[in-house]
Structure 1
Amino acid sequence: MPYELFRHKGHVCLMFSDLCDEGGGAVQANQFLIVNDDTGAIIDPGGNLAYSELYLAMTRHFAPSRLSAIVASHADPDIIAALDRWMTATPDAKLYVSTLWERFVPHFCKPGKTTGRIIGMPDSGMRIPIGNSELIALPAHFMHAEGNFQFYDPISRILFSGDLGVSLMAGKQAQQVITSLSPMPPGMEAFHRRYMVSNKILRFWARMARQLPIDMIVPQHGAPLQGPAVKQFIDWVEGLSCGIDLMTDANYAIPR
C-alpha cells in the first residue's frame, strides 16, 4: 500500500516504499506518484525489481497510461532502469532527465523506443507542467550525480530530494515520518559523508533550500523528514564534511 504524503482538492502525492524484495540484497527505494487535474507524473520509478508491483499498485489510484511525465532525478539503475517497460506502459509520457544523461538513458531501452520522448533538463533546472500545476526541477548537481535534480511541488510544499536526506531502513519503516534528527536516523550520516561530493555543494544547496517554503523533505531512500527535522537537516548538511573533503593520498594508493 502506498503512503499518502498529501491530498487536497484533487492534488495527490503518494509514496511507494516497500515494492522491492529487500531479501534479494537490493537497496530500499521509494517511488512517487503526483496527480493533479487528472494528469499524473511519476518520480524516480525505479528498476525492474519494482516495476511490476509499482504498476499494479498505481492502477488502484491512477491509470499509468494517463501519465504525462516520467521524471528522473538522475540515471542510476534504481532510478530509471525499467525505462523500457515504462515507455511501453505510458505511450504519451515524456521522460524528463538531465541533459547530461539524455543520450545515456536510451541504453535502458530497445532501439528507437525513446525517440522524441526525452526532454533534457538544463543545468539551471526548469518547470514541468502537471495538470494545472507544476513540478519545479531544482539543480542538485553532485548530490550525488553529476547531472542531478530535485523536484519541488509548490502545492504540497514537498521537496522530493533524491539522494539527499537519505536514511537506511526497510520499506515499511520508511513510512514512519521523521520529525527530529535527534537521534540521527540510521545510516544518514555515513551515507551523506560518502555519497555527497563536498561541503561546498551542500552549502550552495542549503542557501537555495532556505528560499522555499518546505513542509516535507522526501528522499528516494528511507523516511520523509517533516516538522523540525526539515530545518535541522538543512542546518546539519550545511556544515557536513563529506566526499572529497575527507579524501587523502591514502585513499589513492596502489593495492598490495
Structure 2
Amino acid sequence: MKCVELYRKGDHSWLAFGQDPDKPDALIDTNQIVITSGGETMLIDPGGSEIFPSMVAALTSRLPIERLRHLLISHQDPDVGSSVGLWRRVCGDNLSVHASWMWTSFLAHFDGDSAFVSVPDEGSVIRLGGREIHLLPAHYLHSPGNFSVYDPGARMLFSGDIGAALIPAHKQRSFFVENFTEHAGYMQGFHERWMGSAPARDAWVAMVSRLDIDILAPQHGLIFRGDDIKRFLDWLMTVKIGSGLGAYEKAARRSFRAKA
C-alpha cells in the first residue's frame, strides 16, 4: 500500500494511505488518513477487513502501533470500517472508536465487543496530543449519519465520500488532482447518484467555505489542494443530485403493464 505525507510540522502530521496495487480487483480503492500529534495517533476510516493486513503493515512501517489512540468511522459503509474488530484486537483497550450515534448498534455487527464513543449530530472534538480535531456534520452526503474531519492547526479537511472519484487504476498517477476538468468527469456520476440531499450539500459547502483549508482529502480518489479546493466546492454546487429517481417511474410503468 502506498503512503504520502500531506502535512508535517514538528510532531504534527497527516498521512494518506491507499492506491494498494495488491488489493483484490473487486474492491473499491480507499484512502485511509492518519493524524499524529504529541506522540498520539488517530486513524480515520480504517478501511474494510480485506485490506487490513496491508494497511496495518503500511502503518506500522511508519509509526508504532502503540501510539494509535483514536479510530473514527465516519459512516456505516463496510469499506469504511468493517476492519474495526481487527484494529481493536491489535490495539486493545487503549483504542477509542468514534462513530455517529446512529450507527453504533449497526457497527457492532462488525465488532460486538467494541465500546463505541457515540458522536452527536452536531459533531464533537477529539483531543489528540494536545491538539483539537473537529468532527463536522456531513449528514446525507451520502449517509444520514456522517462526519467530515477538520484539523485547524494543519488546515486539513477529510471530506469522506464528498469529493470521491472512481478513477481507473491506470489513471492514478499521483495522490493529488492534477487536472481538475478531467478529474470532474470521474466525480460526476458518483455525486449525482450517491449524494442524498441538495439542502445538505448546500449547508456543508457553506460550513466548510468558512474554514481555512489547504488540503481536502476524500475517502476515494484524488486529493485536492490549493485553488482546486474552491474549484471543487463551486463544482459541487452545480451537481444535480438524485440520478436514481428515474427508477421509480420505470418500475411503476413496468408494474402497471404487469397488472393490466
What is the TM-score of this pair, normalised by structure 2?
0.90
- Larger mean Cα displacement after TM superposition, 78-87 or 60-69: 60-69
Letter of the structure 2 residue corresponding to residue 75 of structure 1: Q
Q: Secondary structure at the match of 2:15?
A: strand
1:153 — aligned with what?
Answer: 151
More helix per residue: 1 or 2?
A: 2
Contact 2:197–2:241 (8 Å) recurs in 1: yes
Say yes or no: does 1:95 pair with 2:97: yes
Say which one has the larger Rg. Answer: 2
Aligned 1:237-248 pairs, distance under 5 A = 237-243=236-242, 247=246
Say yes or no: does 1:54 pair with 2:52: no
Query: Which residue among 136, 139, 146 is the counterpart of 1:138?
Result: 136
Q: How many residues align?
A: 252
* Deviations, residues 174-208 of structure 1 (Å, cap 9, x unaligned): 73311552234442011000000132221111110
Q: Distance in 1 between matches of 2:251 and 2:229?
A: 36
Contact 2:4–2:175 (8 Å) recurs in 1: no
Shift in Å at residue 171 of structure 1? 9.1
Contact 2:177–2:223 (8 Å) recurs in 1: yes
2:76 — aligned with what?
Answer: 75
Aligned 1:198-209 pairs, distance under 5 A = 198-209=197-208
RMSD, aligned α-carbons: 2.1
Contact 1:168–1:186 (8 Å) recurs in 2: no
Shift in Å at residue 241 of structure 1? 1.4
Letter of the structure 2 residue corresponding to residue 205 of structure 1: W
Contact 2:23–2:51 (8 Å) recurs in 1: no
C-alpha distance 108-171 of structure 1, shift in aligned 2 (>3 A): farther
What is the TM-score of this pair, normalised by structure 1?
0.91
Contact 2:193–2:244 (8 Å) recurs in 1: no
Q: Distance in 2 between matches of 1:137 and 1:171?
A: 34
2:162 — aligned with what?
Answer: 164
Shift in Å at residue 132 of structure 1? 1.3
Q: Secondary structure at the match of 1:189?
A: helix
Q: Secondary structure at the match of 2:13?
A: strand
Aligned 1:174-189 pairs, distance under 5 A = 175-178=174-177, 180-189=179-188
- Larger mean Cα displacement after TM superposition, 236-245 or 191-200: 236-245
1:128 — aligned with what?
Answer: 126
Aligned 1:28-43 pairs, distance under 5 A = 28-43=29-44
Q: Secondary structure at the match of 1:127?
A: strand
Q: Secondary structure at the match of 1:103?
A: helix
* Deviations, residues 102-155 of structure 1 (Å, cap 9, x unaligned): 11111102x4x21xx311000001111111112110000011111000001112
**Which consecutive unaligned segments of at least 5 residues does structure 1 have?**
none
Shift in Å at residue 17 of structure 1? 1.0
Q: Distance in 1 between matches of 2:173 and 2:138?
A: 23
